[in-house]
Every structure is written in structure tokens, then in C-alpha cells.
Amino acid sequence: MKKIIALLLLLLAEVTGYGQNYIYIKDIPATVSFPDDFEEVSDNVNKKYTHLSAKNINGDSLKAAYMTEVKAAKTNLEYGDILIRYFSELKNSHASVIFKKYYIDCSAILVEDRVFLSYAGDSTFIHNHIKAKDEILKINNIPVLAYITNHAKYTSASTALHAKYLTVSGLFSSYYEEDRTFTIKTATGEKDITVHFEDKAARQIPKSDGKVKSNVESKMLNDSVAYIAIQSMTGNVVEEFTKAFDSLGKSSSLIIDLRRNQGGNSGYSEKITEYLISSRQKACVSNRWLNPRDNHFQGKLFVLTSPYTVSAAESLVIDLQESGSATLVGMPTAGDTGNQPRFYSSKMGYSYWFPSRSAPQVSPKGFPMEGKSIQPLYPVSRTVAEYLEDKDTILNYALTLIK
């Protein structure tokens, strides 16, 4: 959860850096009527949203359906809930209303349609001897998969696969101050753990130790195979990648791991691409010419992907795939490179964003850059047994291919 929270805070810092507002739903003021505000927001979406017709969304009908709820809303919590669901109906990973959330210091992972704790740092969980790899069976007495399906309506995503995985990532976060009960299967039996989401819980996020967090992890897996994991396309990622590449790039095989990369700046991904291609090509996002570096990689290139690979990370995958130099291994990507989202602000003090291009982007070789996951040449996913044994199925498969 710490890594996820750190990435979320970094991305939100970038949002506020663009002059956007970032508030809790409870802080929506009552100085502007809900219908007037929604009228302005939905009209803006209907005029500018790139994918409205491509996704067969009738903007007027969607507006009318939600306006009925808006007129009946009595509190800011009700209105905020409506806004979240409205934007999720746009079926795009870069279209959402931006509200602060409360967090519990835990995280979950989906493996073979079962949900496990991947990290348990909250004091309530620790005191009850709950630990990573314990299985979550129910939430609020609802079977966990049914709960995930029900709450996908609060998740903005371009594909059903991405929505499912994002909802799992959000099991320990909430837009509201509320209680949530988790039924956990442990080695000693089932336990019901109730946590409360509030400002105090949000402040329990571990404070920075002052050290700059690296976006890149690199190492040699054996004498001939190098491994570089790029965790995000933010900050100093290009410089960090260049440093790693300079020390490992002469290996005969290179594995680029993008499984946890939820994007950032596509300009950064394009600079990284130039180290990994061997001939000149057009970039899928900027359409500029990408020129191989003098020291570009010349061995066997493998790229690991997952449903969390999205935005600028996904555009990197497209550019590498269309170069013909990369072999993709793992799970399908999220299905959205971004399509140049823009930020807007409401008079009520919150912000929202959505793609505002005149037409959806298509890659130089004709791949739709939104609404369709990139399928790996070698589809591989983890089993529960392998997860419990700490085996990295996808990485091991790539190593087998190299052999």
C-alpha cells in the first residue's frame, strides 16, 4: 500500500501543480446549487469529451438520467457520490472527478479471482495478527468478488479488466468517513476486522523519510539477462533509467518490467523508447520521430505488462511493440494511453478531467489507443499457489523464453 499511496500522492501533487483543486467530498460548499453545477459540468463533457460517440454514449440521455438524481440530492455527500458515478459512465481511465480519499495502511491483490492482503500495516490488522497473504473473503458481509463488482461503478476505467483491478486497489480507501468490515481467512480461522475511514486514518500514511524515491529498479538476473523495472513515468525517471541502462544495456537480454507503472508523462516514455529501438519510427502519442540512441539496446528485449500498465506506460508498450524489437509477456494492459486529458474546475471548488481531443488517437500502425488492451504475445498470469510461494510467474516465464 505504501508504494501505491506514494504514487497517488505524487500524481495528485502534479495535478495541484497544474492549479487544480483537490478537496474531500464533505467540503463541497452549498453556495452553488447542485443542478446548476451539474448542468455546467455535463455540458462541458458533452461538448468536449473525445470518446463520447466512439463509446456509443448518448450525452444528453446520460445527463438527463443523472440530473434527476442531482435534483433529489440533499447533501454534498449525495452529490459527490453522483458525480463519481457519472464520470465512471464515461468509461475512460482519464475521465473522473478529483476528490481526496481516506486510506487505511493496507493493500490487496487479485490472484485467480481471489483477493489477498499484499500488505497489512494498519494497527488494527496488526493487533489481530492479520498479515500479508491472508485472504479477504467478504467486505461488509458481501462476498468479496460481488463487492468488487458492485463498487466498479465508482471506478473510472477504459476496460472492464482495468476497472476490476483498480477497484481491488481501492479496497482500503474511501471517499467517505465510514466503517468497513473485512472478513479475513487466517491460519487460525476467519476474523472480522472493522476499520474506520476518517481524517485521522488518512494521516496514518507513513511520512516521507526525506529520501528521494526511485522510479527505477535494476539488477542483473544472471550473467546475461538484465532487469529494469520502471515504476512510473514521473519525476526523474528518464535520468534514473539512463543510469540503469548505461550499466546494464550491454547485456544480451533485457527485461523491462512495466507491470506496476500507472503512467505519468508520455514525453518521458518517448525518451526511454529511444534507448530500446534500433530504427527510426513515429511516436504513438506525440507523432514525433523517435531516433535510436547511439548506444541503443541491441539484444533480445522482453516487456512485462499487467492490467495496471496504463497511460504513458501503455504508450511505451505500443511504441516498443510497433518497433518490432520487443516481446510482450504477461497480462493485458489497462487499455488507455490518455488521449491528452485536460483539467477543469467547478465553481464548487473541485476539479475534474477528461480527454478533450477532437478525435481519438490511433497509433502509427493503426492500434486504437483507448478502449482496447494490448495483448501480450505470451499471455501469462499468476496462480494462487505461485503467489503464496512468492514465485514471480511472469518474470520466470520470460526467463524461460530467453533460455
- Beta-strand runs (E) in 114-162: 114-120, 135-139, 142-143
Residue 213: burial class (beta carbons within 10 Å; 0-12, 13-18, 19+): middle
**Class of CATH domain 2-98:** alpha beta
pLDDT of res. 16: 36
Which of the four pLDDT bands, split at 50, 70 and 90, describes residue 4? Answer: very low
Whole-number Å distance between alpha carbons of 360 and 78: 33
Three-point CA angle 269, 270, 271, nearest 5°: 90
Helix 266-273 / helix 237-248 crossing angle, nearest 10 deg: 20
pLDDT at 161: 97
Look at strands 326-330 and 378-379 and give their pairing.
parallel
Which residues of the chain are in CATH 3.90.226.10 domains?
216-335+373-402
- Per-residue pLDDT tens over the stretch 97-118: 999 999 999 999 999 999 999 9
Three cell numbers, residue 16: 495541484
pLDDT tens profile 87-96: 999 999 999 9
Q: What is the pLDDT of residue 12?
A: 42
**Cell 527510426 sits at which residue?**
280
Q: Where in the chain is the domain with CATH 3.30.750.44?
A: 2-98
Instruction: Give, in degrees to the nearest 5, the angle at Cα 96 between 91 and 99.
Output: 150
Instruction: Tell me the average pLDDT of the chain.
Output: 92
The pLDDT of residue 30 is 79
Per-residue pLDDT of 340-389, as tens digits, reads: 999 999 999 999 999 999 999 999 999 999 999 999 999 999 999 999 99
> Mind listing the pLDDT tens digit for each residue in 131-184?
999 999 999 999 999 999 999 999 999 999 999 999 999 999 999 999 999 999
For residue 292, pLDDT beyond 70: yes
> Which of 112, 107, 119 is CA-nearest to residue 385?
112
H helix or E strand, kind and range, residue 387: helix 384-388
Q: What are the distances in angstroms from CA 295 to CA 227, 280, 287? A: 17, 14, 23
pLDDT at 1 over 60: no
Alpha carbons 237 and 231: distance in angstroms, whole number: 9
Write the CB contacts of 85 (distance below 8 Å, at least 6 apart in sequence): 66, 153, 154
DSSP 30-60: SSS-HHHHHHHHHHHHHHH-TTTTTTT--HH
Does the domain spanning 216-335+373-402 belong to CATH 3.40.50.2000? no
Q: What is the pTM of this model?
A: 0.92
CB 245 within 8 A of CB 215: no
Is residue 8 pLDDT above 90, yes or no? no
DSSP secondary structure of 227-249 = EEEE--BSTTHHHHHHHHHHHHT
Centre a 10 Å sphere on the Cβ of residue 234 and count the other Cβ atoms it contains.
Answer: 19
Residue among 264, 231, 230, 202 at smallest CA distance from 11:
264
pLDDT band at 212 (very low <50, low <70, confident <90, very high): low
> Per-residue DSSP letters for 355-374?
E--SS--B-TTS-BSBSSPP
Instruction: Give the pLDDT of residue 336.
Output: 97
- Separate counts of helices (H) and strands (E) for the chain: 13, 19
% of the chain beyond a pLDDT of 90: 88
Residue type, 340: Q
What span, in angstroms and rounded, lies between the C-alpha atoms of 368 and 244?
31
Residue 6 has a pLDDT of: 44
For residues 22-32, give the mean pLDDT. 89
Give domain 102-202's CATH superfamily. PDZ domain (2.30.42.10)
